[in-house]
Structure 1
Amino acid sequence: MADGTYDYDLFVIGAGSGGVRASRVAAGYGAKVAVAEEYRVGGTCVIRGCVPKKMLVYGAHFAEDLEDARNFGWTIDSPKFDWSVLRDNVLKDVDRLNGAYTSTLENYDVEIILERATLTGPHEITLGGGRTVTAKIILIATGARPHVPTFPGSDLGITSNEAFHLDALPPRILIAGGGYIANEFAGIFNQFGSKVTIVNRSDQLLRGYDSALRDRLLQISITKGIDFRFNAQFRSIEQTEDGCLKVSMTNHEDLVVDCVLFATGRVPNTEGLGLEHAGVAVGDHGEIVVDEYSKTNVGHIYAVGDVTNRVQLTPVAIREGQAFADTVFGDNPRTVDHGCIPSAVFSHPPLAAVGMTESEARNTYGPVKVYESDFRPMKNVLAGRNERSLYKMVCAETTGKILGIHMIGPESAEIMQAAAVAVKAGLTKEQFDQTVAIHPTMAEELVLLR
């Protein structure tokens, strides 16, 4: 397929989830492909995001599991946690995944260029070492980075990128933000023994999730010992003589902590890419503007993943990369349906959702029927833990079509993956009712809702 007019049929900037999938599939169709990555192959999810974070979540769960084990007959004397062991093992697995992603590309004869790449013309890319190459098609898959608010002393904080490399656990940590990253790291550090305070500029957590789940997570988190400060804007951070951080904010007293972690959203990585040299349009938040086929306003330049700011989720980036390659190199035009995407927050306990919240459904459909199950999981009963789970199903009143499912409790994300298929398929409450339960499980609550 190689076009002698250009050095490459496809040049991909960014070797994250979307870029790797697009590169591999395009090469499989016979295209001559190169991908440039200035850091490591695998992107945010694999290197400094959802994968290593989930490993920390697993590690954090042992804190309560070891405590609960007593009522199940286990005697565990003086359990101790060593952060450095978990940290190093997680980073070791990140190295393994980086190698696996690299091998995948190499097996498809994709040329990997470990340099920064910028656009210097419509079809021209200049590499960090100074070499210039050309490509018939260019795909930008540079992802996003943590946003850090600007105020005096904000440079004294860290982001989720650095959280995986801490030399030691901070005895006291302030986490700024109310989204999934903030709540996930709050649960992790709390279980590891840090005193955690979440500071949020608004009065609610996890905007976009159903209010019942958000309220339940807040209630459980407070019970677990996590503090919250709402409606707080940062004034400053100052380093004290003993190396601590004094944080000043609106509507609350000053707080002295050992670490400040910013989890205040993510910004598309478009600065310094040279988009202006190719005439690529960007939106109000720096995102690359694309159509349903991930094409920019420049006909031969495309973008997928977080850099487009459509839906910042790894599985979405992978599907966008696949659809791009199928469309452009596989003669199989495809788009990605960004509706009804399931999601999860790996908090303690985790929550998961698919489809519309109750308020969204009422605004769209008018009258709806809501079914709930508020229960204490069997394991928690025997363990003596009062923590309760909540499952919620939102249905159209007239047809019974399921518009959304929302749950908080152990293994919610695992259960939701299967439930999301049913919602995406447009199944009804009656069809759930006709399904025989698997007993005893937590998931059976979904087919027993009344």
Structure 2
Amino acid sequence: MVRSILLRGFDQDMANRIGEYMKDHGVNFIREFVPIKVEQVEEGTPGILKVTAKSTTGDQIIEGEYNTVLLAIGRDPCTRKIGLDKVGVSINEKTGKIPVNDEEQTNVPYIYAVGDILQDKLELTPVAIQAGRLLVRRLYAGATTKCDYVNVPTTVFTPLEYGACGYSEETAVEKFGEENIEVYHSNFWPLEWTVPSRDNNKCYAKIICNIQDNERVIGFHILGPNAGEVTQGFAAAIKCGLTKEQLDSTVGIHPVCAEVFTTLSVTKRSGENIAVSGC
């Protein structure tokens, strides 16, 4: 069941492609419903559980019987009962998260916060570790480097991996304006999928470029095998100001999935076909 959209906070073009891939491979998404009751119908291994769910957009109620029920409940900051109100630290009353400035400083100058409790920041363990290290160095070692919360590589380990770094397409349009970004994209066919002729137009790559900044790459997205491994390497280049021209002038390694980023030529706004017939 999906409360509203798939992979909230991620690029929705990519999220929907993941959804379609999973649907094609037997996953049934029940959209805009949330479970309100789970009852055991039959004991055993596996047993039978009856799930009652309610629509998030109306009053419709549905029921279904399953062998296994897994609840992805998300995270809830435990900030309301640790005395922050006594020292004057502000928290978001709705979410319990803590607003901070770009140095992880709360509204109380001598109190800092890092990690998943931060408002409008990424909920990723490596980000929390990096932010904590940099904060300590600024406080006690005279350093000045701040945590970069934009160019953060991450991967969603769905059946077809999704790797990303930088802005989603939606956020880029909102921040820079649709007329100021160019999206280059293409399908690609991994070599190991060619012999069994497997899903030849499911893997997908795109970059989002800032036209006003020499087509600097501000968003990197890949859906395919080992997407995390591919994304990790490109993330360093993106932090260094990678541009479309630099990608074009890079010699690709053939035949690997990452090669597609050295040959991207079709823009989304052109509407041209991006299907491929070989690796």
Aligned AA for 1:200? V
CA spacing shift, 1:362–1:301, aligned 2, 3 Å:
closer
CA spacing shift, 1:208–1:220, aligned 2, 3 Å:
same
Cα separation, 2, equivalents of 1:224 and 1:426:
38
Of residues 50, 53, 65, the one that matches 1:249 is 53
CA spacing shift, 1:313–1:254, aligned 2, 3 Å:
same
Cα separation, 1, equivalents of 2:110 and 2:218:
38
State yes or no: 1:365 paired with 2:174. Answer: no
Deviation at 1:241, TM superposition (A): 4.6
Q: Contact 1:391/1:406 (CA < 8 Å) preserved in 2?
A: yes
Deviation at 1:252, TM superposition (A): 6.2
State yes or no: 1:302 paired with 2:112. Answer: yes
The more displaced of 293-302 and 231-240 is 293-302
Per-residue CA distance 1:360-416 (angstroms, 9 max, x = gap): 333423323322221221101113422531001222345322221211000111111
Deviation at 1:359, TM superposition (A): 3.4
- Secondary structure at the counterpart of residue 29 of structure 2: strand
Cα separation, 1, equivalents of 2:107 and 2:199:
55
CA spacing shift, 1:240–1:268, aligned 2, 3 Å:
same
Cα separation, 2, equivalents of 1:240 and 1:227:
22
Partner residue of 1:58?
none
Partner residue of 1:392?
206
Cα separation, 2, equivalents of 1:234 and 1:308:
28
Q: Contact 2:91/2:98 (CA < 8 Å) preserved in 1?
A: yes
**Residues 33-432 of structure 1: pairs in structure 2 closer than 5 A:** 199-202=1-4, 204-242=5-43, 244-250=48-54, 251=60, 253-284=62-93, 285-309=95-119, 310-363=121-174, 364-367=176-179, 368-386=181-199, 388-397=202-211, 399-432=214-247
CA spacing shift, 1:308–1:237, aligned 2, 3 Å:
same
Partner residue of 2:269?
none
Per-residue CA distance 1:196-232 (angstroms, 9 max, x = gap): xxx0111x31123333322221121112211110011
Q: Contact 1:244/1:258 (CA < 8 Å) preserved in 2?
A: yes
> TM-score w.r.t. structure 2 length?
0.81
Q: Which blocks of at least 5 consecutive residues in structure 2 are unaligned? A: 55-59, 266-279
Per-residue CA distance 1:136-165 (angstroms, 9 max, x = gap): xxxxxxxxxxxxxxxxxxxxxxxxxxxxxx
- Secondary structure at the counterpart of residue 371 of structure 1: strand
- Secondary structure at the counterpart of residue 39 of structure 2: strand
Larger RCO of the pair (alpha carbons < 8 Å, separation 6+): 1
Q: Contact 1:365/1:396 (CA < 8 Å) preserved in 2?
A: no
Deviation at 1:312, TM superposition (A): 0.9
Cα separation, 2, equivalents of 1:430 and 1:228:
40
- Secondary structure at the counterpart of residue 440 of structure 1: coil
Deviation at 1:235, TM superposition (A): 3.2
Q: Contact 2:150/2:167 (CA < 8 Å) preserved in 1?
A: no
CA spacing shift, 1:212–1:287, aligned 2, 3 Å:
closer
CA spacing shift, 1:334–1:431, aligned 2, 3 Å:
closer
- Secondary structure at the counterpart of residue 82 of structure 2: coil
Per-residue CA distance 1:264-319 (angstroms, 9 max, x = gap): 42111324323334443322211233333223334433221112242211121112
Superposition CA RMSD, Å: 2.2
Q: Which blocks of at least 5 consecutive residues in structure 1 are unaligned? A: 1-198
Aligned AA for 1:381? T
> TM-score w.r.t. structure 1 length?
0.52
Cα separation, 2, equivalents of 1:422 and 1:353:
13
- Secondary structure at the counterpart of residue 331 of structure 1: coil
Per-residue CA distance 1:20-54 (angstroms, 9 max, x = gap): xxxxxxxxxxxxxxxxxxxxxxxxxxxxxxxxxxx
Q: Contact 1:394/1:405 (CA < 8 Å) preserved in 2?
A: yes
